[in-house]
Amino acid sequence: MTLARSNLAPSTWSQILLDRRNPEEAAAAVRTGHVMPWTTVLLEACRAADTVLDLGSGRGELAAVLALNGKRVTLVDWSLENLRFSRQLFKVLGISGRFCQADMTQPLPFRASSFDVVFSCGVLEFFSDRQIDLVLQESWRMCAYKLVVFVPNGLSFAYRFGKWYQERRGAWHWDGEVPFRTLRSYFAKLSGARVTEHSIAPRHALSFLTMPVGKQVARLLQRALPSGGESRPAFLRQGYLLVTTAERL
């Protein structure tokens, strides 16, 4: 797969995702609920679903959480190393899933409406506009009811400033990542879709303020944020992730 906005090759991508991690530690985190706050949002989005497709599944923790909650999951990733990690993660957790290596910018080997829900998390921000259109159209073809996409939120001041600071220091690993203020213009091209959008995880956004003064500011702002609010729509759209959902009319 060619990522037009990124210089990350498949091997480099997996090295960053899997660095100093092992499936046993990941399984322990999944079992104890120590996963990203957007997992709660994904679980709610898939509440009525039976089959779910994870596009760009990475290490596989999100799909594993869904499988533990009774969903039949299929994981698609371009990296064999990522899929090997995911297979072992599922084995340790004693759950089953389907694993498919594929280029998600190309037609995928699944029938129309094969899955109740199709989702991607942390993927489209590395693609060109044309690739995003292709991925969304193919995703819409494969999903029977709902498509959910998570990308970094371009309206989040803390995330954007922290990203800029880390890039200046050469500490930013996600080469080519482009945040979005909205994905509505892309989703508008999907036929028969009702589109909703909001941001989540404002506390996580503050974690990007890694500069000395930023850390102090983050601690002060965290006290002002309501506890347990990471999965709720963020005030003034200041959450780290933008969540865009299309449901069939």
Residue with tokens 């347990």: 228
User: Mean pLDDT across the stretch 15-42?
Assistant: 83
Query: Three-class SS of residue 143?
Result: strand
Is residue 225 in some structural domain? Answer: no
63, 52 contact by CB (below 8 A): yes
Residue 11 pLDDT grade (very low, low, confident, very high; cuts 50, 70, 90): low
Q: Judge whether residue 19 has pLDDT over 70.
A: no
Question: Which range (7-21, 24-38, 68-82) has the least confidence?
Answer: 7-21
**What number is the average pLDDT over the span 99-126?**
96
215 or 158, higher pLDDT = 158
Look at residue 222 and tell me if it is in a domain.
Answer: no
pTM of the model: 0.92
Q: Is the pLDDT of residue 99 over 60?
A: yes
Taking the CA of residue 151 as centre, how many other CA atoms within 13 Å lie in the half-sphere pointing to its CB? 20
Question: At residue 41, does pLDDT exceed 60?
Answer: yes
The residue assigned the tokens 């594993």 is: 64
User: Tens digit of pLDDT for each residue in 161-177?
Assistant: 999 999 999 999 888 89
Q: In what order do the strands lie in the sheet with 51-55?
A: 98-101, 72-77, 51-55, 115-121, 143-152, 241-248, 193-200
For position 3, what pLDDT does the model report?
41
For residue 163, being part of any structural domain is answered with no
Q: What is the DSSP letter of 117?
A: E
Whose tokens are 């533990």? That residue is 68
> Residue 113: what pLDDT?
98
Q: Which residue has the tokens 């506390």?
A: 203
The answer to whether residue 108 is domain-embedded is: yes
CATH number at residue 14: 3.40.50.150
Please report whether residue 240 resides in a domain: yes
Could you tell me if residue 72 is inside a domain? yes
pLDDT at position 2 is 35
Residue indicated by tokens 């003034």: 236
Looking at the structure of the chain, the number of domains it has is: 1
As a whole-number percent, the residues of the chain with pLDDT over 90 amount to 78
Domain range enclosing 102: 10-154+176-202+236-248
pLDDT for 1: 34
In a domain, residue 185? The reply is yes
Residue 77 resides in a domain: yes
Q: Which of 18-32, 47-61, 92-106, 167-181 has the lowest mean pLDDT?
A: 18-32
